[in-house]
Amino acid sequence: MRYAVTDAFRYAFNCHCSQCRRATGSAFKPFAGIERKALRLTQGGGQAMIYGDPQAAHDVHCGLCGSLLFSVVREGAYVHVTFGTLLDPPAIRPAAHIFVGSKAPWFEIADALPQYDEFPP
Ligand SMILES: [Zn+2]
């Protein structure tokens, strides 16, 4: 699957919550948020694998490779796009680590970004 998204992200974080760790199979998920209308599926949309409530919050995975492309959040108004699936580097960079309160105990954050137990203030 392919998508196109405007490089006008509103915020970006590294999320350490258990759902993001599960969805990515990794220590945390770098993502950037933007209005849902800024993203469109350009190829293979019929192959999407939806995890969650299709009418509400859900994750959209590529049905062929399983990669988590983005999550629909905030009553469907926003998408959280995974940095790892962007082909071109976005202008924004993760500003902080969030949900550090549920971080994996085997992972040490080694950078100087701010850390928040849950959502940023
Ligand atoms: Zn998360």
Task: Give tens-digit pLDDT for 80-114.
Answer: 999 999 999 999 999 999 999 999 999 999 999 99
Residues near ion ligand 1 (CB < 5 Å) are 15, 17, 20
Q: The domain that contains 92 carries what CATH number?
A: 3.90.1590.10
Total domains in the chain come to 1
Work out the number of other CB atoms within 10 angstroms of the CB of residue 38.
16
Is residue 117 in a domain? no
Is residue 112 in a domain? no
Is residue 23 in a domain? yes
Is residue 84 in a domain? yes
What is the per-residue pLDDT across 4-48, written as a single tens digit (0 to 9) for each? 999 999 999 999 999 999 999 999 999 999 999 999 999 998 999
Is residue 68 in a domain? yes
pTM of the model: 0.95
> For residue 94, what are the domain limits?
2-102
**Residue 64 CA to ligand 1 centre (angstroms):** 23
